[in-house]
Amino acid sequence: MTGIAVKGLSKRWGETFAVRDVSFSVEPGSFAVLLGPSGCGKSTLLRLISGLETASAGSIEIGSKDVTARPPAERDLAMVFQSYALFPHLSVAENILFGLKVRKTSKPEQADRLAHVADLLGLSGLLERRPSQLSGGQQQRVALGRAIIAEKPICLMDEPLSNLDAKLRHEMRVEIRALQRKLGMTMLYVTHDQAEAMGMANRIILLKDGAIEQDATPAETYGRPATSFAGRFIGTPPMNVLALSWESGGLRIKGTGTALLNGIPETALTAGIRPEDIALDAASPHRAQVETIEYLGADTLIDCRIGNERLTVRARSADGLAPGAEIGLSWPRTALHLFDAASGTRRDDLLNGAGG
C-alpha cells in the first residue's frame, strides 16, 4: 500500500498564497479528509498532489518517491471530481472503461474488471444506459467506477457528493468509506462539510487561509480543538466562543458578575463551551435569558444571552421555557476550552493552574 507525504508545500499566484507551507502525511490504506471553508486552498492542494498544478515551493512524495516534478500520469493515482464529467454520448460501460481503452488494456481484462466494478457498485443492470438516463447517485457511482477500475493505490476526491441531496449524500458517504476499506485504497478526500469529514475520516486536516489549522483524528479535533476556529468549524451547532473579562484574579463571561475560573493570570482570552455540554440547572449562579427556542425533535436549541454574550444550549427539551425566561446554566469544568483572544490558540496550560 502507498501513502502520501507533503512537506513545506506552497502555491502562490502573484502575491496571494493559496497554499502556505503545508506539511502532512496520509498513512497507507487510510482515509484522510482535507476540510475547510470555501477558498481555504483544499482544491489547490489536491491539484498539486495530482500534478494538475505545479508547486511554488515544497515537495510531494507518493509511496516514498518524490513526484514533485513528475507529470500527473506518473503519479499513479485516480481522481474523482465534483462534476462527474461523464461523457454524455457514451454508455455507462464505455464511460467506466474509457481509461483502460486509452491505455490499451486487453479486451478480456477490460471485461473482467468491468464486471467486478459494476458488481461492487451495483451498476450491473445499468451498463448499457447513457448518463442522462441515470439518477444523480447512479451517475456518481459511474464516476467512482471509472476511478476504481484503474486499480490505483491512491484515490483523490474533490467534493464528490456536493451535487447530491442530503439523504443520498449520507448513503454515498457510507458506500465510499466501505469501498475504500474493501479495496485498501489510500484516500485523500476534499470537503467543506464537517459532518462528512467527521463521519468518514481517520484523520482530518483542517485548513484555513491556505495553512493547516489542525491535523488530528475526528475525536481529537472535536474534543480538543487546537484553535477557536477549529472549535467552531467542527460540530453543529458550533461551539460557543465567549468573550471574557478579567477581574481581580477571576475570569468572567463579559458582562456577568459570576467568576467562570479563578487563579488565571491576566491574559486576553475567550472561552469555548459546546452547546451539548451545557445543562439547564436552576441552582447555578450562571444566569442567562432565553431569546429563542428551536425545537428539532430529538433535541432543542435554546439561544440565550449571558452577560454581553450570546450562547446556544442543546437540551433534550425546553418544556416550560419561553423567550424572556431567566435560566441557570452549568457545565462540567472539563467542558471549558480556553483560547487566546488574539491568535485563537488553545491555552490548556492556563486551565491546569486554575481554580473553579
Contact residue for ligand ADP among 6, 26, 42, 216 (CB under 6 A): 42
Decide: 113 and 100 in contact? Cβ < 8 Å: yes
Nearer to ligand ADP, 49 or 123 (CB): 49
Which are the contacts of 104, defined by CB distance < 8 A and separation ≥ 6?
none
Q: How far is the CB of 53 from ligand ADP (least distance, A)?
A: 8
Contact residue for ligand ADP among 4, 6, 9, 18 (CB under 6 A): 18
Q: How far is the CB of 48 from ligand ADP (least distance, A)?
A: 9
Stretch that binds ligand ADP, among 35-43, 80-88, 130-138, 171-179 (CB under 6 A): 35-43
Nearer to ligand ADP, 44 or 194 (CB): 44
Binding of ligand ADP by 43 (CB under 6 A): yes
Tell me which amino acid residue 148 is: I
Q: What are phi and psi of 297, to 5 degrees?
A: 95, -90
| Residues constituting the chain | 356
Stretch that binds ligand ADP, among 39-47, 67-75, 290-298, 321-329 (CB under 6 A): 39-47
Q: How far is the CB of 38 from ligand ADP (least distance, A)?
A: 4
Stretch that binds ligand ADP, among 37-45, 109-117, 231-239, 323-331 (CB under 6 A): 37-45
Binding of ligand ADP by 41 (CB under 6 A): yes
Stretch that binds ligand ADP, among 31-39, 73-81, 94-102, 266-274 (CB under 6 A): 31-39
Which are the contacts of 29, defined by CB distance < 8 A and separation ≥ 6?
1, 184, 185, 186
Binding of ligand ADP by 44 (CB under 6 A): yes
Name the strand (E) or helix (H) holding 47: helix 42-50
Q: How far apart are CA 16 and CA 321, in angstroms?
A: 50
Stretch that binds ligand ADP, among 1-9, 34-42, 75-83, 178-186 (CB under 6 A): 34-42
Q: How far apart are CA 237 and CA 233, in angstroms?
A: 9
Stretch that binds ligand ADP, among 41-49, 165-173, 223-231, 292-300 (CB under 6 A): 41-49
Residue 61 CB: number of other CB atoms within 10 A?
16
Contact residue for ligand ADP among 39, 136, 237, 249 (CB under 6 A): 39
Q: How far is the CB of 39 from ligand ADP (least distance, A)?
A: 4
Q: How far is the CB of 209 from ligand ADP (least distance, A)?
A: 9
Which are the contacts of 108, defined by CB distance < 8 A and separation ≥ 6?
none
Residue 237, preceding bond cis, omega within 30 degrees?
yes
Nearer to ligand ADP, 14 or 108 (CB): 14
Name the strand (E) or helix (H) holding 60: strand 57-62
Nearer to ligand ADP, 72 or 249 (CB): 72
Place of cell 490558540: 345
Q: How far is the CB of 220 from ligand ADP (least distance, A)?
A: 22
Q: How far is the CB of 82 from ligand ADP (least distance, A)?
A: 10
| Number of amino acids touching ligand ADP (CB under 6 A) | 10
Residue 156's beta-bridge partner residues? 79, 188
Binding of ligand ADP by 20 (CB under 6 A): no
Binding of ligand ADP by 38 (CB under 6 A): yes
DSSP letters of 108-153? HHHHHHHHHHHHHHT-GGGTTS-GGGS-HHHHHHHHHHHHHTT--S
Q: How far apart are CA 272 and CA 264, in angstroms?
A: 16
Q: How far is the CB of 211 from ligand ADP (least distance, A)?
A: 12
Query: Which among 264, 233, 227, 225 is positioned nearest to 247, based on CA atoms?
Result: 264
Binding site for ligand ADP (CB under 6 A): 13, 18, 36, 38-44
